[in-house]
Amino acid sequence: MTAVVAVLATLNACSPRLQSTPERSAEPTVGHPRPMGTGAYPLSSTLASAWFNERVSGGSKTLPFLIYFKGEAGWHEGQSHTQFTTAGTPVVIDIHTARFRLLVRYWPDRSVVKLFGRVVNIDEANVILVSGFGDSKRSIVVIPLGRFDLTVPTEAIPSVYLIEHSEDIRIAVTGPAEAQ
């Protein structure tokens, strides 16, 4: 069992499907271009997301990584302030909610992201789940989910598109579907 599966099982946030090999992208690169844009999107009362855009061409955009933030219902609601910085090093996504600060630092030349004290090599895992927001019984945990193809249609909201088109990401982020 992989470390990701073990952590997710401990958090009661995965199903046996995650143990299969997810859709993988091509070979990882060494270093990434400087991001040309950023984005953030609240998917539900428990789930939000953030990302950088690496390139846009031919009707699609490619992300170097995507982060899902998961917590108790309402954890990210209320007043918030977002600041994105793509100039300088590191490039930064800094989101302040009423109760939390989501600070993401990214060094494209080194292919690393730092958030909540954890460094993730995005050539090894470019989709990341951060969970535990608003749950006083748990610490915030950073979980690298694996390496996926992060090329999406230009008009798509990347975090929504990936949940809709990758069962592995959907299960890891939202949990297994209820029995029907």
What tens digit of pLDDT does each residue of 120-162 get?
999 999 999 999 998 777 789 999 999 999 999 999 999 999 9
What residue segments make up the domains of the chain, in order of their start? 28-174
Output the pLDDT for position 175.
85
Q: Whole-model pTM? A: 0.80
How would DSSP label each residue in the chain? Answer: --HHHHHHHHTT---GGGGSPPP--SSPPSS-PPP-EEEEEE-SSSEEEEEEE-EEETTEEE-S-EEEEEESTTTT-S--EEEEE-SSSSEEEEEE-SS-EEEEEEETTTTEEEETTEEEETTT--EEEEEEET-TTS--EEEEEE----EEETTS-HHHHHHHH-HHHHHHHH-PPPP-
Which residues of the chain fall short of a pLDDT of 70?
A: 1-30, 177-180
- CA–CA separation, 2 and 137 (whole Å): 25
